[in-house]
Structure 1
Amino acid sequence: MIQRIPFTRLSDRQWAALQPFLARAAPQGRPLSDPRHRMDGMFHLLSTDAPWRAIPAEYGPGATIARHFRRLTEAGLWERLLQALADLGPRHPLQQLRRLIFRAARRAYRVRGLGIIVLARRLGFLGALPGPAWMLPDPDLSKRLVALQMRHRENFGPFVLRWGRALRNLMGMVGGRAHIPRYLRLCMP
């Protein structure tokens, strides 16, 4: 397990800043046993490139932490935290967790899909993208390209003859790559 980001347990200030964003209870209505301990385990794992099963035993079973991460992801926690990072000042305690939140957003992409990529792009958080920006879909650019084509629809024939190849290449870029090689994903900080 390679430590990508130096990890320390959540401080009291960081935990107090993070707590308003977290769910108060499990989906069944039971109170969570120790949410701070679970978040520490989650952030410990997010500071590495290891799979969930490699989580240290002191944090509990990896499947439990992974399930908690998935529930938080489905509840939209990482999108709310990205928005909070954009809105809060640079000295706010959540800013100290910025890189870990970005890494969590990268893992959350598998569950949340394109929405988290769009949000990270709009906020300018390229570090939260699950790969290099030029290899990922860009829905905003595709809307602009469609609007450009619609503006020139009366002269569409000459427009396509003149700009056809460039538009086709741009539309291909807008869709992103189908597969991002693992070595590129692992290069992300």
Structure 2
Amino acid sequence: MSPDAARAHLRAQFPSHRRYTPKRVWAPLTDAEWAEILPHLKVVVMAEGRPLRDARQRIDGMFRVAVSGLPWRSLPAEYGKPDTVSRHFRRLAHMGLWMRLVGACSDREASPALRGVEYFICRAARRAMRILGMDAAVMAEKVGLLTAMPVLPVYLTRPHFCEQVRRSMLGVMLAHRACPLKLPVAELRGWLRLHRHFAGKPWHRRWAPP
């Protein structure tokens, strides 16, 4: 496989309906929006046997912090203690709420009310990515909601492809082991560029989607 073929293979892995979610200024959830989120929240919370307390206000506070990108300490007191809300957010991430909602938003039959809070959901999922890890980032890309990703797709680390590139480079070098001076330097440089590309960027807001 050549470097160009490797790039083409990567592009073929993902759907063509990928999109960025338009930005929306934070506002408290409407009754219709809350009615769309509540069933998903009940599923994950009931699975853990934990009661729902001030759930709507708590989720509103989480969305407020997620959309603003500010630290938890910036959360107004009306939403609860910042440390408590932060712990609840992480617990819901481990329970799978944020990625469950991402999946619901990617459904072509999603309701207008759920579409209305898609940006909030994507930003909450993105904030949870350091908890959820690489698998969740890849899932967000595969379902097409790029705003939920921790970095732009071009900057996401591709461990599988990095390993393929490494093996290809090793194969080229082994094929010329008997005569190193005949190594195809231009080809190796191409593989090195491709390896740097697949290595991605750190998960930092400077590389994050809009």
Task: Give the TM-score taking structure 1 as reference length.
Answer: 0.78
Letter in 1 for 2:113: P
CA distance 1:169–1:103, shift in 2 (3 Å): same
Report the equivalent of 1:45.
65
Q: How many residues align?
A: 179
Q: Distance in 2 between matches of 1:87 and 1:62?
A: 33
Unpaired runs of 5+ residues, structure 2, are 1-22, 177-182
Q: Distance in 2 between matches of 1:65 and 1:58?
A: 11
> Aligned-pair distance for 1:32?
2.3
Report the equivalent of 1:122.
142
Q: Which has the higher contact order (CA 8 A, sep 6+)?
A: 2
Unpaired runs of 5+ residues, structure 1, are none
CA distance 1:5–1:169, shift in 2 (3 Å): same
Select 1:106's aligned residue among 126, 138, 143.
Answer: 126
Once the two structures are superposed, residues 55-101 of structure 1 have per-residue CA deviations (whole angstroms, 9 ceiling, x without a partner) of 01111111111111100111122221121111243643211111111
Q: Look up the SS of the partner of 1:24 in the other structure.
A: helix
Percent same amino acid at aligned positions? 36
Structure 1 stretches of 4+ with a deviation exceeding 4 A read 139-147, 153-156
Report the equivalent of 2:86.
66
Q: Is the 8 A contact 1:21 1:77 kept in 2?
A: yes
Q: Distance in 2 between matches of 1:144 and 1:86?
A: 30
Once the two structures are superposed, residues 112-149 of structure 1 have per-residue CA deviations (whole angstroms, 9 ceiling, x without a partner) of 111121112212322222233332213464477579x4
Report the equivalent of 1:31.
51
- Indicate the structure (1 or 2) with the bigger Cα radius of gyration: 2
Q: Is the 8 A contact 1:103 1:128 kept in 2?
A: yes
Matched, 1:137 2:161: no
Report the equivalent of 1:7.
26
RMSD: 3.1
Q: Distance in 2 between matches of 1:129 and 1:61?
A: 28
Q: Look up the SS of the partner of 1:47 in the other structure.
A: helix
